[in-house]
Structure 1
Amino acid sequence: MLLAGLFSCEKIIDINIPDKEKKIVLNSIITNDSSMVINLSKSMSVLDDDEITFIDDATVKLYEDGVLVAEPVNAGGGNYPVTGFTPVKGKKYKVTASNSTLKSISAEDKIPNSIEILSIDTISTEIEGTPSIECSIEFEDPSGVENYYILTANISSGGYTSPVNIYTMDINIEDYLDIKYGIMIRDDVFNGNKYKLIINFDKYNFSGLVNKVDFQLQSVSKDLYLYSLSYTRNARTGNNLFSEPVQVYSNVKDGLGIFGAYSVSQKSVTFVGYGGGEVY
């Protein structure tokens, strides 16, 4: 399960940098429930055109807890799929990449343990005259460690599945992901405790008689959280001449991009009746 619009191993992040030495841009976001793809491209300067230059001649290696487990082969378009291998929660992964013209890079991350959604309570309400559903989503945060979360939701209704635009009045959230298709929150104020995150979404999302909403609590690594947060804020201010530019976070040594990890737990609620009727 991937984050809407952002968590895709094949999504290419176009990062403009000043005209200087080119770097390898690594993009790979891994989870324990799917295979992984590593994408490599060249960084772009402000003088380049908009076309991304992929790197198809690199030597790529993948390590699990320090042991070499794969040397993926290029499949075109800068993609290096890791075939026959699925990452595991709790393991640390490292990627190295090099070619004949650019400086070698490396990046590492660890897939965090998934955090179970304990319960979801829902009520019908109105916000500024708009019929809405309020959801109270409870989970228990592990103690003694920093945890980072992104909550997303998808609705299956009328034969279609799409991300739900969710919003909240919770003062502890840090930001929205991808225009309110996700909520970013860290455990600073509730470390080691149960927490109820209250969210809302409009009933206009319901287009069928049976409407199933899948809530995904993404437990993300610190690196992936900081990248997602900075990338979202960079995109938001990119076209605003009066805003300070936001530097996109990267954990790639001697390069750019992101090698991030996450796990996910999911719980579903079904609403029966046009416009969101009974909850089952």
Structure 2
Amino acid sequence: MSIVLMLLPAVAWGILPLTVARVKGRPINQIFGTAIGTLLVSIVVFLINRPTISILSFILAALAGGFWIIGQLGQYNAYRSIGVSQTMPISTGLQLIGTSLIGVLIFGEWASNNAKIFGVIGILLLIVGISLTAKKDKSSKANKQTGTLVMLVLTTIGFLVYNSIPRAMTSSGLAIFLPESVGMVIAVLLYLVFTRQPQVLHEKSSWQSILAGFVFSIAAITYILSVKDNGVNSAFVVSQLSVVISTVGGMVFLREKKSHHELILTIIGLILIVGGAIVTTIF
């Protein structure tokens, strides 16, 4: 059972981009449906589990969920712009680099000299891996790609805050799943208000995207359970295999085309990204 729990987050997070990309709609429709789907699942989990959480922890978790929307909306926009198979390795690599640096600078990780050495090596592997997966042969798409990369870098801040807030809280795991999803929905609704897009609430693709929320919830819940059974390091490293599933899935199921040269660079880049995740987490 522990092995199943370890693999399920990778599978679910891996197919999430494919699920979203299959829905005919704009990124705002997709993020709305994902947030609503996550909220529905979190309510069921709360009613079954009945976890206790303080008001302060609830607010902090909701804030984390709001920042998750920023990161995920950036990803969804990138799917449409440069495709899933290019977005996921870049986004995952950026998150791993940012999370590692936050761990060192704020939470005092990599305390020993060996940890610092391997940490730097891991980050270098991630940077090279990202660079290789971002490489395109056609220069005509350079401007579009550059703009998308800048957007991914900026919105990744949302993921970093989302990952960092729970580490500073006393409550964790399933206890913060509901407040995080509440924060997600509030953030989406605020975005709709400020961008004046109330029609999103009535569009079919918005509600079709609820399935993406169910998939995300499966990943989040099984990851929490995997951490409990297998430990943080093992659970985290295996979960990063999702980038391989989503990248290969983008090319196979979504038929995103790459030249032979781009394909080779992508494969090497994926190996380096997964290797970087292992090095920065385990050593």
Q: TM-score range by the shorter chain?
A: under 0.3
**Higher relative strand content:** 1
TM-score of the two chains, using structure 2 as the length reference? 0.20
Q: Which has the higher contact order (CA 8 A, sep 6+)?
A: 2
TM-score of the two chains, using structure 1 as the length reference? 0.20
Instruction: Select the structure of larger CA radius of gyration.
Output: 1
**Higher relative helix content:** 2
